[in-house]
Amino acid sequence: MAVFFVVCLFVVFACLIMVDAMKHGAGKKRWFFTGLVIGPFAWPLLNVKKQMSLRKQVGNQVAYLRA
């Protein structure tokens, strides 16, 4: 029963990560399979990837505010 719960949890997180990746222009299939393999631990990886792409677009010397 616990294995079934863990598998369901990984699938749900994979779908959530895929939706978040689509919102930010990342590869949805790549992040779906990453979420499927490592589950909720892929969320920080996606956030780091989003920050890196933002820094690449605007540069390191720019201050920006998030609302």
Percent of the chain with pLDDT over 90: 30
The pLDDT value given to residue 19 = 92
Q: Report how many domains make up the chain.
A: 1
Distance CA 21, CA 47 (A): 9
Residue 64 domain-assigned (yes or no): no
The rounded distance, in Å, linking the Cα atoms of 42 and 35 is: 5
Asked if residue 46 lies in contact with residue 40, where contact means CB atoms within 8 angstroms, the answer is: no
Structural domain harbouring 28: 2-58
Task: Report pLDDT for 4.
Answer: 94
Residue 27 CB neighbour total at 10 angstroms: 13
Overall average pLDDT of the 36-60 stretch: 86
Q: How confident is the model at residue 27 (pLDDT cuts 50, 70, 90)?
A: confident
| Stated pTM of the model | 0.74
> Cα separations (Å) of 3 from 20, 24, 50?
26, 32, 31
In a domain, 67, yes or no: no
Note whether residue 63 is domain-resident: no
